[in-house]
Structure 1
Amino acid sequence: MKRFLMVCLLLSVWTGPVRAARPDLNARLQPTVFALTMVMIHDVVNPPAASRFYTYCLLGAHEIVAQHQPNGISPARLVRSFKPPTLDKSKPYDYQLAALYCMLETGRLILPSGYMLADEQTKFLAELKGHYPEAVVNGSVSVAQAVAKQVLAYAAVDNYSKLSARLRYRPTKTDGYWYPTPPGYMEAIEPHWRTIRPMLLDSCGQFKPKPPVAFSRDTTSAFHKLMQEVYQTTKSLTDEQRFIASYWDCNPFAINTSGHMSIGFKKISPGGHWMNIASLVSTKAQIPFDQAVMVQSVVAMTLMDSFISCWDEKYRSNRIRPETAINRYLNPRWQPLLQTPPFPEYTSGHSVISSAVAEVLSYLIGDQFSFTDTTETIFELPERNFTSFRQAAEEASISRLYGGIHYRDAIENGQEQGRAIGTFVVEKLRKAGVKPPVE
């Protein structure tokens, strides 16, 4: 008995205190990306800019995990003129901790109110106490900070900094052209976004869509039929159609007016909605951490390039919104269900980005992958079930007709444009050797 007690005592001395189970880093990925989303909602970041921020915040994390996989494929194999950051491996670190911290650090440095992420960083490090040696945590932070700085240097030359120096966009009152809409009559958002350097595409005009139906005041014209369809559809919406329009609204610029008072309602951007879907389905599919980071990064890059392609066409065709056209030529009192976003109509941004991301997720996660989307629950909308990514993209696209803010050709040609972008990205992934984590 004494010998047994002595052995137990010696074991307790040799092993020391037992560390508690380490945090599930896979479970930490979605909240980390959503922390970026919350800052963007706070800042009322416009949709194209949000996609750019997501891309750079995920790029460094993608590179870190790629360099620690046996057959890791660096984003440099996919991204134009991107050189892989050099990692300092002289000190101990955990690459997955570094990847998560790198997302927050890049966001802290690049977002307008990035300072808000400092609390998230402190919270994350507090969660690691007692689970990882202090030297490993410190080393992980150092690696993350170094990579974030290299990503910011790459981002600094994508032409974003030159946007404010370009000529101010001036709308025209000529028939058929976009003009600011009520209630805010805001200036056009990002009229020079086509000048931003794409990540995966060769150029902003690589997937130029079909031209829009020509504007005409002739009541027998194709344009008049499109305008009438929007007008008549919004007059006879079902409860389900109204809900679909609201569910996919994702308008960071929404304003509610009462007399002389205007109140802004902050909402998630369209890209932010799809980023959260990517997080949710990665969790459901039980994708390992490294591959889940890659999925998020590729989705972000697809969103960024889709917005560049879409905005290239928006300010080329400069097409009039249904609200302006219907008020001028059909009914001056008509109002759309949704608030009209402050930029030209053609093509539909929701249609382009949703269709592109649906193709990418169908390749990476699964062609018929069913999922429950809980993204909008924080905005007091119920969760919604989808049988596939393409079904969700179809619904997001047609929601713009129900909302009264897009004509059908902008929706359908936008879907075609987005599918072409998504197919191109998938082919690029295949050629680089990126295999679906779910097969």
Structure 2
Amino acid sequence: MRPVFLILLFLTKFAHAQKPEGGLKSYLQPAVFSVTMVMIHDVVNPPAATRFYTYCMMGAYEIVAQNNSQIVSPTAFIRSIEPFKVESPVAYNYQIAALYCILETGRVILPSGYMLEEDQKKLIIALLREGHSQKEINVAVSVAQDVAKKIAANASTDGYLKLSTRLRYRPKKGEAYWYPTPPGYIEGIEPHWKTIRPMMIDSCNQFVPKPPVEFSKDSTSQFYKLAREVYEVGKKLTEKERFIASYWDCNPFAINTSGHMSIGFKKISPGGHWMNITGIATTKAKLDLDKGIMVHALAAVTLMDAFISCWDEKYRSSRVRPETVINRYIDPKWQPLLQTPPFPEYTSGHSVISTAVSETLTYLLGDNFSFRDDTEVIFDLPTRDFRSFRQAAEEAAISRLYGGIHYRDAITAGQLQGKELGQYIIEKLKNNGVKPVI
């Protein structure tokens, strides 16, 4: 798909969603999608994307909580967000402030945040058409700008700004360890992500999975059998399995090569896919704006902490990818269906984060919540129907085996890691009075 065409698709979706149907709540999903659009433009890596989503939602969530007594403040159970007072010299429309704050926070903290200024203008025009006065909007915008500054200041202390000052990662020596893979041979992404301050979990290593199966070249060993499974599955994929693998690819680093030419294709991140699912679900559930913002924020928090937990293990075990093992010891010409992402293999990131956020969404919106996912339509893939969040998470996890980028034990261990983390977050929500929204 050509980049210009992709941009036009984004603009079309945003413009369509901005039609004032359903009041202010109809602007929530487009606002989050606008943030996604900028992150795709910037090729934000998967762990960092969930951090940006979290902070973009936190200000909006706190504005709502301070104006709606039925919404529990995130500062009650998220230690990383310092309590602050949302202040205004005059009465203000808190829902407009919350919506604008999503865009304003993104504008402030994203590398190409300036791109959101156009979306802010579109939002204001839409609000004027709905009958809101310029004065009412101006007051709400002022509140949003003040809150966004406070959130950005808080975000600046979580360790993210120090990542670039840390030592460059060098792969461990030895056949058992991860090494950059073709076609880009990109160096390890975010090797120090475990140093980022988590939101709800106590530490990056609170949910350490069992060690991966020990590396071995012995054809009778458990590890060799894991590698052989990836190889055999990859050679006999059904059309359905190919589709599932492509549907959950979510690789922002995809590169197509032709001779000496390499072309990068911008894709949504795993967290971005789940944030869009969250928007689809809250819209289908007909949640009011306040609850919709809360659900988006809690999904983002879960995704962020899940990535911190997963990345802690990835660079601890630094396990070699199937592509490297298969090319060395089984078939030098074999290629996985999906491009191997540029970081160690164990545990499977999509398995961890999808399982974790599916638990949170199941708690908030209920089990057997069916939905039609249109996230990948912009990438020329059809919509997909799911019976529940957990079913979607199961499919996202097994897609990594079909794609040839993970061994089975990394998937199952990742699911367990994600489920434990998700259930821990749910217990915290329960203990602080955050109840299901439907």
TM-score normalised to structure 2 length: 0.94
Structure 1: where are the runs of 5+ without partners? 1-20
Query: How far apart, in 2, do the equivalents of 1:88 and 1:358 lie?
Result: 35
**Contact 1:93–1:135 (CA under 8 A) maintained in structure 2:** no
In the alignment, what sits opposite 2:414? Answer: 414
Deviations 1:113-153 (A, max 9, x none): 00000000011111122511222111100100000000011
1:70 aligns with 2:66: no
Q: 1:304 to 1:271 in 2, by over 3 A?
A: same
1:323 aligns with 2:327: no
1:173 CA drift (Å): 4.3
**Contact 1:318–1:344 (CA under 8 A) maintained in structure 2:** yes
In the alignment, what sits opposite 1:244? Answer: 244
In the alignment, what sits opposite 1:18? Answer: none
In the alignment, what sits opposite 1:24? Answer: 23
1:367 CA drift (Å): 0.8
Q: Which amino acid aligns with 1:143?
A: V
Query: How far apart, in 1, do the equivalents of 2:78 and 2:156 lie?
Result: 15
**Contact 2:80–2:198 (CA under 8 A) maintained in structure 1:** no
1:23 CA drift (Å): 6.9
**Contact 1:375–1:383 (CA under 8 A) maintained in structure 2:** yes
Matches within 5 A, 1:316-355: 316-355=316-355
Deviations 1:247-283 (A, max 9, x none): 0000000000000000001000000000000000000
Query: How far apart, in 1, do the equivalents of 2:316 and 2:417 lie?
Result: 15
Deviations 1:270-307 (A, max 9, x none): 00000000000000011111011000000000000000
Deviations 1:159-190 (A, max 9, x none): 00110111110113411100000000001000
In the alignment, what sits opposite 1:146? Answer: 146
Q: Which amino acid aligns with 2:108?
A: L
In the alignment, what sits opposite 1:87? Answer: 86
Query: How far apart, in 2, do the equivalents of 1:81 and 1:210 lie?
Result: 28
Deviations 1:68-89 (A, max 9, x none): 1123311001211422332223
Q: Which amino acid aligns with 1:93?
A: Y
| Structure 1, 367-376 or 79-88: larger mean CA deviation | 79-88
Query: How far apart, in 2, do the equivalents of 1:198 and 1:271 lie?
Result: 16
**Contact 1:63–1:84 (CA under 8 A) maintained in structure 2:** no
Q: Which amino acid aligns with 2:409?
A: D
| Structure 1, 369-378 or 69-78: larger mean CA deviation | 69-78
**Contact 1:314–1:347 (CA under 8 A) maintained in structure 2:** yes
Query: How far apart, in 1, do the equivalents of 2:87 and 2:21 lie?
Result: 24
In the alignment, what sits opposite 1:253? Answer: 253
Query: How far apart, in 2, do the equivalents of 1:302 and 1:100 lie?
Result: 21
**Contact 2:227–2:325 (CA under 8 A) maintained in structure 1:** yes
Q: 1:139 to 1:264 in 2, by over 3 A?
A: same
Query: How far apart, in 2, do the equivalents of 1:72 and 1:402 lie?
Result: 41
**Contact 1:74–1:84 (CA under 8 A) maintained in structure 2:** no
Q: Which amino acid aligns with 1:110?
A: I
| Structure 1, 36-45 or 87-96: larger mean CA deviation | 87-96
Identity %: 65
Deviations 1:361-408 (A, max 9, x none): 100001110110000001110000000111000000000000000000
Query: How far apart, in 2, do the equivalents of 1:239 and 1:430 lie?
Result: 42
Deviations 1:174-211 (A, max 9, x none): 11100000000001000000000000000000001111
In the alignment, what sits opposite 1:363? Answer: 363
Q: SS of 2:189's equivalent?
A: coil
Please list every run of at least 4 consecutive aligned residues from structure 1 whose deviation after the TM superposition is greater than 3 angstroms: none
**Contact 1:23–1:128 (CA under 8 A) maintained in structure 2:** no
1:43 aligns with 2:42: yes
Deviations 1:35-87 (A, max 9, x none): 00000000000000000000000000000001111233110012114223322
Matches within 5 A, 1:206-221: 206-221=206-221
Q: SS of 2:346's equivalent?
A: coil
Query: How far apart, in 2, do the equivalents of 1:110 and 1:41 lie?
Result: 15
Q: SS of 1:89's equivalent?
A: coil
Query: How far apart, in 1, do the equivalents of 2:126 and 2:369 lie?
Result: 33
In the alignment, what sits opposite 1:312? Answer: 312
Deviations 1:304-354 (A, max 9, x none): 000000000000000000000000111111000000000000000000000
**Contact 1:60–1:102 (CA under 8 A) maintained in structure 2:** yes
Q: Which amino acid aligns with 1:148?
A: A
Structure 2: where are the runs of 5+ without partners? 1-19
Query: How far apart, in 1, do the equivalents of 2:49 and 2:255 lie?
Result: 19
Q: SS of 1:129's equivalent?
A: helix
Q: Which amino acid aligns with 1:385?
A: D
Q: Which amino acid aligns with 2:165?
A: A
In the alignment, what sits opposite 1:394? Answer: 394
**Contact 2:71–2:291 (CA under 8 A) maintained in structure 1:** no
In the alignment, what sits opposite 1:120? Answer: 119
In the alignment, what sits opposite 1:104? Answer: 103
**Contact 2:314–2:347 (CA under 8 A) maintained in structure 1:** yes
Q: Which amino acid aligns with 1:425?
A: I
**Contact 1:337–1:404 (CA under 8 A) maintained in structure 2:** yes
Query: How far apart, in 2, do the equivalents of 1:422 and 1:111 lie?
Result: 27
Query: How far apart, in 1, do the equivalents of 2:248 and 2:386 lie?
Result: 13
Query: How far apart, in 2, do the equivalents of 1:403 and 1:369 lie?
Result: 27
**Contact 1:322–1:404 (CA under 8 A) maintained in structure 2:** yes
Query: How far apart, in 2, do the equivalents of 1:257 and 1:348 lie?
Result: 26
Query: How far apart, in 2, do the equivalents of 1:409 and 1:281 lie?
Result: 31
